[in-house]
Amino acid sequence: MIQMTDPRNDDKHLWVGWDEYHRLIELLALKVHESRWKFDQILCLARGGLRVGDQLSRIYDLPLAILATSSYREAAGTEQGELDIAQYITMTRGELSGNVLLVDDLVDSGVTLARVQEHLKARYPAVTGVRSAVLWYKGCSKVTPDYFVQHLPTNPWIHQPFEEWDTVRPHNLGAWIKRGLQQAQQDSQK
């Protein structure tokens, strides 16, 4: 089990840095591998599952299919709203078929995971099996993923490393980059 060492972590908040994030993906890949389940394709749920899916696609040397879903749009992305599932899956060739590893970053309520699995059954009859893989599985979920790295019984809000870009807009990007360069210079002088 990877230790989340950020001093801000408590029962309500889990802060994850880049190194920890990538290590969690590696641990997830290993859990899937150790299960000996053979799958033909990886389908990630965008946006949260994009980075996880990309890394798993590279580790398993399989093409990545993408299905856009969205529910965390309310209150600057901190409250779950109505779930939207894209009509089509994006992939470079062929149709979604065979055994599919469905990947996301986390399962919170379980609504997205359950609805996407229903969506796949209804629209993709060539899919013969689906298993789900996530980094975090919250205790409040009504759905248990097939593979997960961390079970979070207290349901903390997970602060992922890429969320810093959620508040950056093109008009303030120059100042944001300058601030980052100044911080890197200060860190290198320590």
**Domain coordinates of the chain in residue numbers?**
13-159, 164-190
Higher pLDDT, 190 or 106: 106
Tell me the mean pLDDT in the region 32-59: 96
What is the pLDDT confidence band of residue 75, given thresholds at 50, 70 and 90?
very low
pLDDT at residue 46 above 70? yes
Query: pLDDT value at position 92?
Result: 85
The pLDDT of 93-102, averaged and rounded, is 94
- pLDDT category at 6 given cuts 50, 70, 90 is confident
Hey, which residues does 15 pair with through a beta bridge? 159
> pTM of the prediction?
0.85
For 98: left if phi > 0, alpha if psi spans -120 to 50, otherwise beta; the answer is: left
Distance CA 26, CA 23 (A): 5
Q: Does domain 13-159 have CATH number 3.40.50.2020?
A: yes
What was the pLDDT predicted at 88? 84
What is the C-alpha to C-alpha distance for residues 94 and 103, in angstroms, rounded to an integer? 19
The model's pLDDT over 146-176, given as tens digits with 9 standing for 90+, comes to 999 999 999 999 999 988 887 888 888 888 8
Distance (Å, rounded) from C-alpha 148 to C-alpha 41?
A: 18
Closest CA to 16 of 153, 149, 137, 162: 162
Nearest to 131 by CA among 25, 55, 28, 37: 37
Note the pLDDT of residue 167. 81
